[in-house]
Structure 1
């Protein structure tokens, strides 16, 4: 048996059934087998798994999943939609013309799982390994806002409640079912004769096909597995009403699949995600020297969005307010990142060591842009998870030697026997880090290849009430720990806003 569990952390599943217009406000429920397979193909190519798993392994996995139709165990859901009046330009009288657009989605509890199972299917080890990697990297199913966490189940003892069948009545209970048509792959063996018949019946085998015929032939690959790689836009341009290699199948889902029901809330558990990575775009991107300003804008935008999620209360993990008395830096750090080392901020890591609740992740997902008087930057959630989910993120490095990315400003007033070294040692103890065995000043750091001193960086918070700031000058440092430590390491004044950020020095003993 093969079973795959899907969970939607944002509580929403957006997907329009094939052949339906988005403004019909229909939701593809269950997710069609065709959609699931194409999502796996896209993940394989987008995440670069070809270096580890040869393409024939993927082809074998796709053919195995296409031989039989899956059954589903659908969780309770509610069909909902939002309405948007999209601007269409101005009319002759000066009034703004708008067009009503519906955005339909299924609302699912973030803790509930949808299970797709192939009861008679057993995969060989290499296909199971590939499937596990693809499911782990699968970020969304349906539209991009349909965040998903997927995993293969070693064992599943549940019962499906949605199966392929023409029988509209449950044989066990006699209750009426709700038929729904979804798109699924044909068994791979049926594709070659169908392709030959199609080419012959439509006269596509001529020696000099016309432009229209060439467009159709380009979307009729010889191999079945390649039909899952054809772009939807190419299929539509060629005039296909349904994709080659696909068929429509009737599934019978429970008649109350979209009926609100009173359910027992599952026991709450800490959300596994500690980090959300936001990607910034636009030209020009903000400078790394303005890290504290960009971090403040990101925090403000997140809190504004959180006011419209759930019950409207702002999670302490985002604001840092109303935390228990013994809480110490477990709430969100807003860490601007220059991933390509060109001197400009292209990502923001929102990292909370104590975890980000689902409401916080939903709020971050709703951010579409950041702006101030100096610029506007579109924002996209690149991913979320724990620190291991972002191996290429600069602050999430690992090593013994760490050097400044942004100026460190000591958080307490300096006193005799309580200077920078003593303050850093205290902060490290509070964070569960070993005390550095050596702290060395650094005169300059390079930002995009240009040497910079602390004075070149913005070193003040933009707050209505001026904070007491023990250090206004700042300095760059290199910290050497007695053993390798894992990032992020952000210390000192405004460390939750990008100041005092360190990165590991590559090539040092203990680096990984």
Structure 2
């Protein structure tokens, strides 16, 4: 008794039964004896030409006997693809169904030849040959194969009908037909296995290969598992951030942060709607039934200057709630955003800012991969102005209305503390905001302060509550905290954004 063990490394087996169309959606399972013999012959020609034709016939002839199978638990699935069709000047597309068998990577398929034995020398050659089989069926059905000879009583669950039912079989069985070779020996065996399908169907006018025979097998249905369908398209995954690189000459100035963030939101929302029948993502839009979402759990569009040269080179889309599969698909599709109109001699052309998706990140990956935005740090400074959402309070005679700690009511320090306590403090229970320093300039690049009034601070779309006053601040905590930190008006589009102050 000898056997062949096949591990499907990708957990899938793609193969269409002989005589069937791929669009019938019927995968071949288990692999037919004909397919296994053809695979061994092809591997011999490609990887081991030192084996003579006589040796190959001696190895393959015993394997023309009908094998039995030990089938692992499987389920059947398929995917659909629209392939381009070009006929002359006409372009179209055709639907192709890719059916496959899903298999546990850790559970191999075993093909058993009960009455076959080899000499030690032939067994060594056959082991090398089988070990070179890297795929079976379609080329993406990756395999790792080996010969097994230490078989005692394998729990076979798929046998030729002529063998009859076995005690080890489950109660539920079904019939299937597999293509095998019959009545072929000597040089004819190699010639038949090397015969090209096109020649067989063209010159021989035959669908089935010569010397082929369809054999009915009895297969246990206990190995066929119907896996529960888990539709996670609308459920958040573990990915909370997507990072894009910006590509344009020249790159946008940091003064255009709000515009880049807002245009990115418009572009990704438009892609999401076109991909999914006009639907609106709550996470991407920040709108629930037409009203602003509460709790700041929706997406932040945060343009970043990572090299400190005063020009934006990346944008990070971040949501603490996580993104769904559909939202991630919109990110993968996003490759540009509108960026103004160029007027040259009266000819106007739409300019584009190109985006390239660099990666998707989980919560634990942020500080290691994007420290310029996520820290952690004890000191944080303004990268863009904080635009107040409420007017600072004063008495009628001009005196400031202040809290007991001396901070003006609804002043920049007061609004920062309120937003920190409302939206961030629960995620940083170990850290307290101990110091807030206010100024009117932001360090766009080293030794180059820029006035807050130079930044664009009015959104092109949407309303929001803006007092029209902008400030630069430095925040200090008693323990390091992780970002992103963004406060005030337009904070979901890059305004009021803080970065770690490493100086």
Question: In the superposition, relative to structure 1, how do residues 477 and 78 fare at CA in structure 2: closer, same or farther (>3 Å)?
Answer: same
* Distance (whole Å) between structure 2 residues aligned to residue 496 and residue 426 of structure 1: 17
Pairing of 1:71-220 with structure 2 (within 5 A): 76-81=77-82, 83=84, 116-117=105-106, 173-176=174-177
Residue of structure 2 aligned with 1:440, choices 437, 446, 470: 437
Report the number of matched residues. Answer: 316
- Determine the C-alpha separation between the residues in 1 that align with 2:265 and 2:466: 20
State how far apart, in whole Å, the 1-side matches of 2:179 and 2:458 are: 60
Give unpaired runs (5+ residues) of structure 2. Answer: 16-21, 29-71, 110-138, 141-159, 161-168, 181-218, 220-225, 342-350, 394-400, 402-408, 426-430
The whole-number CA distance in structure 2 between the counterparts of 1:430 and 1:303 is: 28
The structure richer in strand per residue is 2
2:492 to 487, 490, 496: 496
Question: Equivalent residue for 1:478?
Answer: 474
Residue of 328, 340, 365 corresponding to 1:389: 365
1:75, 1:114 within 8 Å by CA — same for their partners in 2? Answer: no
Distance 1:107 1:344 in 2: 49
Contact 1:428/1:435, CA 8 A, preserved across alignment: no
Specify whether residues 177 and 454 from structure 1 end up closer, same or farther in structure 2 by C-alpha distance, changes over 3 A only. farther
Q: Alpha carbons of 1:408 and 1:107: their partners in 2 closer, same or farther (altered >3 Å)?
A: farther
With normalisation by structure 2, the TM-score equals 0.52
* CA distance in 2 between partners of 1:75 and 1:83 (Å): 26
Does residue 363 of the first structure (1) align with residue 363 of the second (2)? Answer: no
In the aligned structure 2, how far is the partner of 1:178 from the partner of 1:331? 56
Q: How far apart are 1:79 and its partner, in Å?
A: 2.4
TM-score, length basis structure 1: 0.51
Aligned to 2:153: none
> Structure 2 residue aligned with 1:328, among 295, 300, 304?
295
Matches for 1:5-84 after TM superposition, within 5 Å: 76-81=77-82, 83=84
Would the alpha carbon gap of residues 3 and 305 (structure 1) be closer, same or farther in structure 2, given more than 3 Å must change? farther
Superposed CA deviations along residues 379-405 of structure 1, whole A, max 9, x for unmatched, are: 222111323334232211111110111
| Alpha-carbon offset, residue 494 of structure 1 | 0.3
SS of equivalent to 2:249: coil
Distance 1:469 1:4, change over 3 A: farther
Question: Which among 422, 427, 430 is matched to residue 430 of structure 1?
Answer: 422
- CA change 1:73–1:338 in 2 (3 A) is farther
How far apart, CA to CA, are the structure 2 residues paired with 1:431 and 1:106? 47
Q: Using a 3 Å threshold, how does the CA distance of structure 1 residues 373 and 340 change in structure 2: closer, same or farther?
A: same
Confirm or deny: 8 A CA contact 2:8 2:108 kept in the other structure: no
**Which has the larger Rg?**
2
Matching residue within 237, 240, 244 for 1:274: 240
Three-state SS of the structure 2 residue aligned to 1:76 is strand
CA contact (8 A) 1:489 1:502 kept: yes
1:5–1:113 contact (8 Å) kept in structure 2: no
